[in-house]
Amino acid sequence: MRGLFASSQRVRDGWRIGLRACGGEELRDSLVGMTGARRTLGVMAVGAAVVGLVAQAIRPSLGRPEGPRVEMAVPPQVREILVRRCYACHSDEPRLVWWDEAAPMYWVVASDVQRARAAVNYSEMGTKPLATQRAVLFESVNQIELGAMPLRIYLLGHPDAEVTAEELATLKKYLAPFATGPASAGAGASESAHEDVTEAAGPSPNGVPFLPGFANWRVISTTDRGDDHTLRMITGNEIAMRAIAAHQLPSWPEGAAFAKSTWQAVDDGHGRLVPGKFLQVEFMEKHRVQYAGTGGWGFARFVGADLKPYGKDAHFENECLGCHEPVRDNDYVFTLPLPRGSER
Ligand code: HEC
Ligand code: HEC
């Protein structure tokens, strides 16, 4: 912390000396008036000022990137938070304060902005499919919760940039429509569905257990499928979330588990789809040896409000595996926390 402030202090002094150096005549007079050590110091100061000024001239460009500019599709209260807290680095219009503008701080900031844009550029996110935009927003909230964003180092120089608890709550509320009471009041059934899904009628025919905690796991993604009028929410357990945070993918660690919950989609009368009747929950739990026959994953599905185990016998799991086979390279998991393009 002290280092950063000290360096911006130094930069500030550099500016002041630089400004004086520009005063030509006056400067020469003051140098002539100096003797010995003082003159050496004076020359060094001018030298430093010149280096400082040259440094200011070396500026990696932060101009507008090439991509088409379409803002992320989110409601105004969500966008406002991103603009206030994240656009400084993750947008086409980086906002720099004066101490960012001065080298060497500028170099640090410019490199951050370039890396940040490469990871996520909210100003261009609108060109991506809605599901991708949602995935990016989930990843964003996870990054905030993990304390990884905004960058720690940046917060030192910009203490007011931290996301407040209230802002985080707003983001989470937008992302987890299933968990909010009033918004889904019109649909009625949803709330009780969310509360009740705690115990299954029995084990899955292949022996994979029901995982009761799934409703409280972290949300990785939600999708609404117009074609079959359902809303889905995919949640991951603690082990899965840690693997995401540690960039361990696509090989998921032992004990990682996902749940995919499906509701009937109901129009709330204001053009918004809200969860209606609870349809089913599906699980995938990683145990390499125990579930070696099905790619190391235990598959299970529990159907309806009474969570009836799905499948006449253990063979039902071939149905699951067969459909997940195309994403074998992703360890059979469809849902990625954030598409990272070239990395996979
Ligand atoms: C000071 C600049 C800066 C600010 C402000 C900032 N970020 Fe970042 N962000 C970065 C950089 C740099 C990276 C790339 C990190 C890397 O390459 O490892 C990044 C990466 C990310 C990623 C991708 C993470 C990954 O592992 O790929 C997400 C998501 C993200 N930021 C979200 C946010 C959110 C949300 C905010 C606002 C609350 C925010 N950032 C504010 C600089 C910033
Ligand atoms: C018709 C193809 C299909 C079948 C059959 C299928 N799945 Fe999936 N599954 C998907 C797709 C596609 C996703 C990605 C999320 C989405 O689009 O809903 C998914 C996602 C999941 C997820 C969330 C993790 C991930 O991979 O994204 C779980 C858990 C899951 N399925 C379990 C099961 C179980 C258990 C069965 C068998 C009872 C099963 N699935 C059968 C297509 C299928």
H helix intervals, the chain: 2-21, 25-32, 36-57, 76-85, 98-101, 105-119, 130-145, 152-157, 165-175, 189-196, 238-245, 316-324
Q: Is the predicted pLDDT of residue 123 greater than 80, yes or no?
A: yes
Which value, in Å, is the radius of gyration of the alpha carbons in the chain? 28
Q: Is the predicted pLDDT of residue 326 greater than 50, yes or no?
A: yes
Distance, CA 7 to ligand 1 centroid (Å)?
A: 23
Residue 151, amino acid: L
Regarding the beta carbon of 115 and ligand 1, being less than 6 Å apart is answered: yes
Region for 36 from its dihedrals, namely left if φ exceeds 0, alpha if ψ lies in -120 to 50, beta otherwise: left
Residue with tokens 């304390």: 147
What residue segments make up the domains of the chain, in order of their start?
Answer: 2-57, 76-174, 176-343
> pLDDT digits over 52-108, tens only?
555 555 555 566 666 667 777 788 888 899 988 998 888 887 665 555 555 555 556
Highest-confidence range of 44-53, 92-101, 128-137, by mean pLDDT? Answer: 128-137
CB 171 within 8 A of CB 141: yes
Distance, CA 320 to ligand 2 centroid (Å)?
A: 7
Regarding the beta carbon of 151 and ligand 1, being less than 6 Å apart is answered: yes
Which of 183, 173, 175, 148 is closest to 163 using CA atoms?
Answer: 148
Closest C-alpha to ligand 1, atom 2: 89
Q: What is d(CA 233, CA 262) in angstroms, rounded to the nearest whole number?
A: 7
Question: Got the DSSP string for 216-249?
Answer: GSEEEEEEEETTTTEEEEEEE-HHHHHHHHTT-T
Regarding the beta carbon of 89 and ligand 1, being less than 6 Å apart is answered: yes
Q: Could you tell me the fold of the domain covering 176-343? A: Chalcone isomerase (3.50.70)
Q: What pLDDT, on a 0 to 100 scale, did the predictor assign at position 105?
A: 59
Structure tokens at 157: 């120089």
Q: What pLDDT, on a 0 to 100 scale, did the predictor assign at position 181?
A: 35
Closest C-alpha to ligand 1, atom 1: 154
Q: Is the predicted pLDDT of residue 201 greater than 70, yes or no?
A: yes
> pLDDT digits over 16-42, tens only?
333 333 333 343 444 444 455 555 555
| Ligand that comes closest to the CA of residue 340 | 1
Structure tokens at 39: 């003159």
Q: How far is CA 336 from CA 122, 150, 210, 256, in A?
A: 18, 22, 23, 14
Regarding the beta carbon of 214 and ligand 2, being less than 6 Å apart is answered: no
Regarding the beta carbon of 336 and ligand 1, being less than 6 Å apart is answered: no
Q: How many CB atoms lie within 10 A of CB 124?
A: 19
Regarding the beta carbon of 72 and ligand 2, being less than 6 Å apart is answered: no
Regarding the beta carbon of 90 and ligand 1, being less than 6 Å apart is answered: yes
Regarding the beta carbon of 249 and ligand 1, being less than 6 Å apart is answered: no
Regarding the beta carbon of 320 and ligand 2, being less than 6 Å apart is answered: yes
Residue 226: pLDDT band by 50, 70, 90 thresholds? Answer: low
Closest C-alpha to ligand 1, atom 16: 115
Q: How many CB atoms lie within 10 A of CB 90?
A: 24
Q: What is d(CA 253, CA 326) in angstroms, rounded to the nearest whole number?
A: 20
- For a mutational test of ligand 1's pocket, the pick from 4, 89, 162, i.e. the residue with the most ligand atoms closer than 8 A to its C-beta, is 89
Q: What pLDDT, on a 0 to 100 scale, did the predictor assign at position 142?
A: 85
